[in-house]
């Protein structure tokens, strides 16, 4: 049983098992965790088929066609724009009016700290849930 978290510094997803989380919350030396006053073996954790949510990271390349371009046509299949990340030359940028970019309808607006040029490598990354 695993879950994925996004690393704050790199923006890359990292997968962890529930057992790792239980060891942090419980007592890994004695292999137990106390929940509602009852002790349970951490090593005995088993995956449950109910309530499983999975997702896929999507990546869409954005082509900068002219220097100082600030608007780009995008077709993003996500209902959570806060989960969008823009990567420019390997640097990760946050979504939002106070961030480096935002999306309205099908247009991505770049308002980052520098101007983009056609030599920049740009892509948007987002998670779609299954």
Task: Kindly report, residue by residue over 61-94, the tens digit of the pLDDT.
Answer: 999 999 999 999 998 866 667 678 899 999 989 8
Sites in the chain below the pLDDT cut of 70: 1, 47-55, 77-80, 82, 129-130
Q: Are residues 39 and 78 in the same domain?
A: no
Q: Are residues 74 and 31 in the same domain?
A: no
Q: Are residues 64 and 120 in the same domain?
A: yes
pLDDT at position 50 = 55
Domain assignment present for residue 50? The answer is no
pLDDT at position 57 = 77
pLDDT at position 13 = 84
Range of the structural domain that residue 24 is part of: 2-44
Q: Are residues 28 and 67 in the same domain?
A: no
Domain assignment present for residue 12? The answer is yes
Domain count, the chain: 2
3-class secondary structure, 83: helix
Query: Which of 6, 37, 3, 35 lies closest to 21, judged by CA?
Result: 3
3-class secondary structure, 18: helix
Q: Are residues 122 and 59 in the same domain?
A: yes
Q: Are residues 125 and 65 in the same domain?
A: yes
Q: Are residues 62 and 40 in the same domain?
A: no
pLDDT at position 48 = 61
Q: Are residues 59 and 122 in the same domain?
A: yes
Query: Which of 33, 12, 29, 13 lies closest to 21, judged by CA?
Result: 33
Q: Are residues 29 and 93 in the same domain?
A: no
Mean pLDDT value across the chain: 83
Q: Are residues 32 and 59 in the same domain?
A: no
């Amino acid at each position: 049983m695993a879950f994925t978290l996004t690393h704050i510094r790199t923006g890359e997803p990292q997968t962890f098992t529930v057992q790792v989380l239980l060891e942090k919350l419980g007592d890994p030396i004695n292999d137990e965790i106390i929940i509602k006053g009852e002790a349970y073996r951490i090593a005995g954790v088993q995956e449950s088929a109910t309530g499983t949510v999975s997702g896929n990271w999507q990546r869409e390349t954005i082509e900068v066609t002219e220097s100082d371009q600030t608007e780009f046509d995008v077709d993003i299949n996500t209902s959570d724009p806060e989960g969008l990340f823009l990567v420019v030359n390997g640097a990760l940028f946050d979504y939002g009016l106070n961030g480096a970019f935002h999306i309205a309808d099908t247009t991505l607006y770049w308002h980052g700290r520098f101007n983009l040029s056609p030599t920049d490598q740009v892509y948007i990354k987002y998670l779609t849930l299954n």
